[in-house]
């Protein structure tokens, strides 16, 4: 079986206790922290920027992956690197020069992944798959936490898994949105090896540690 990694999304964390929340996720064995940056243009919601990234950086030594749901993501790479980002997930949608964006992340010596929305086919990855470290298949429409997993993305996860195994086996396949104890096993069976989860971890009634434990048990 493939080793599954966890990337808790702080979007559903209690921002008044962010340090404790991240520490609980770390304690529970999170592999990295997923930070959802939204600008109110690329997606119809505003979340946070470099100030919060920098605050999280001070609370953990885990790698920080930034999911950039913003227009012109490259323009902010320098600021986010200064704030402590380790890798960037940028969207295929709306980026006419995705290859250049990937090169910019490489020049900064940071990890880079490409994210695709539910309506975007796996085939758009053909020419860039070998240049990225991660593929993020969105299993909800980006913009908000707490949404329902879109089941039709499972077939696409399978297609991306095939492509990765064939052409770039060390590439991570992450899924993001509506991942919980019911949907995580489906995503993993389809081929995902990294689970992003907000609500299932930070929204768990008994805290992030219990939330992650529950999620882990579901895929065992
Ligand atoms: C949605 C974000 C997700 C979100 C996931 O736009 O990319 O990372 O925080 O939240 P849940 O796990 O609640 O669906
Ligand atoms: Zn995300």
Token reading at 57? 């950086």
- Domain enclosing residue 10, as ranges: 5-219
Confirm whether pTM is higher than 0.90. yes
- ipTM (interface pTM): 0.98
Say if ligand 1 is within 6 A of residue 143 CB.
yes
For residue 9, say whether it is annotated as part of any ligand binding site. yes
- CATH of residue 116: 3.20.20.70
Say yes or no to pLDDT of 1 above 90. Answer: no
Residue 14, C-beta contacts closer than 8 angstroms, at least 6 positions apart: 21, 202
CA distances from 109 to 4, 9, 11, 104, 161 (A): 25, 23, 26, 9, 26
**Average model confidence (pLDDT) across the chain:** 98
For residue 86, say whether it is annotated as part of any ligand binding site. no
Say if ligand 1 is within 6 A of residue 197 CB.
yes
Mutate to test the pocket of ligand 1, among 69, 197, 200, 211 (most ligand atoms within 8 A of CB): 197
Answer yes or no: are the C-beta atoms of 114 and 125 closer than 8 Å. yes
Residue 113 pairs in a beta bridge with 89, 134
pLDDT 10s digits, 47-74:
999 999 999 999 999 999 999 999 999 9
Say how many CA atoms lie within 13 Å of 205 toward its Cβ. 0
Residue 134, C-beta contacts closer than 8 angstroms, at least 6 positions apart: 65, 87, 89, 111, 112, 113, 114, 171, 172, 173, 174, 194
Domains of the chain: total? 1
Burial bucket for residue 214 (CB in 10 Å: 0-12, 13-18, 19+): middle
For residue 36, say whether it is annotated as part of any ligand binding site. yes
Give the ligand with the smallest distance to the CA of 215: 1
Residue 3, sorted as left (phi over 0), alpha (psi -120 to 50) or beta, turns out to be beta
CA angle (16 as vertex; 13, 20 as ends), nearest 5:
65
Taking the CA of residue 38 as reference, the ligand 1 atom at the shortest distance is: 6
pLDDT of residue 2: 87
């Amino acid at each position: 079986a493939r080793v599954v990694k966890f990337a808790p999304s702080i979007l559903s964390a209690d921002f008044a206790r962010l340090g404790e929340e991240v520490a609980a996720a770390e304690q529970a064995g999170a592999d990295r922290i997923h930070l959802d940056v939204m600008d109110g243009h690329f997606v119809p919601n505003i979340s946070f920027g470099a100030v919060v990234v920098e605050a999280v950086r001070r609370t953990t030594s885990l790698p920080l992956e930034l999911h950039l749901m913003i227009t012109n993501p490259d323009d902010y790479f320098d600021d986010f690197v200064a704030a402590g980002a380790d890798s960037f997930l940028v969207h295929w949608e709306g980026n006419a020069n995705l290859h250049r964006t990937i090169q910019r992340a490489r020049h900064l010596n940071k990890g880079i992944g490409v994210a695709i929305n539910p309506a975007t086919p796996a085939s758009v990855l053909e020419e860039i798959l070998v240049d990225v470290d991660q593929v993020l298949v969105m299993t909800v429409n980006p913009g908000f936490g707490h949404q329902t997993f879109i089941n039709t993305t499972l077939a696409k996860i399978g297609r991306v898994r095939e492509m990765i195994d064939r052409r770039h086996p060390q590439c991570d396949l992450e899924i993001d949105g509506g991942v919980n104890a019911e949907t995580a096993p489906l995503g993993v069976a389809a081929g995902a090896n990294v689970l992003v989860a907000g609500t299932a971890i930070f929204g768990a009634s008994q805290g992030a540690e219990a939330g992650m434990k529950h999620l882990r048990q579901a895929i065992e």
